[in-house]
Amino acid sequence: MRVQVDSTRCQGHTLCAMIAPETFELDDVDGHAHPVVENVPATQRQTVLDAAKSCPEQAITVMVEQSTTRRGVHGQRPER
């Protein structure tokens, strides 16, 4: 899972940094949030999703990588 903050939308409400301080921090100059790391560990996934939902400006984008499985032919195991 990856996360980004749109600096043009962020207004520095600090909710994301309060909910997920290991993922978001606030800039000392303008107070806007930015991710500490772009690739979020699985252990922090739900916390980051909660932080993104809490953003009044909806400035946080969360990208979830999906794995795909191909269907196998009858009688064969699917490829991964």
CA distance linking residue 11 with residue 9, whole number of Å: 6
Cα torsion for 52, 64, 41, 68, to the nearest 10°?
160
Backbone angles phi, psi at 46, to 5 degrees: -65, -35
What is the model's pLDDT at position 12? 94
Residue ranges in the chain whose pLDDT is less than 70: 66-80
Q: Which residues, including other chains, have CB under 8 Å from residue 68's CB and lie 6 or more apart?
A: none
Which pTM does this prediction carry? 0.76
CB 39 within 8 A of CB 53: no
pLDDT of residue 68: 57
Structural domains in the chain, CATH included, are 2-63 (3.30.70.20)
pLDDT in tens, 8-26: 999 999 999 999 999 999 9
Predicted confidence at residue 64, as pLDDT, reads 86
User: What is the rounded CA–CA span in Å between residue 37 and residue 72?
Assistant: 37
Q: What is the pLDDT of residue 77?
A: 60
For position 33, what pLDDT does the model report? Answer: 95
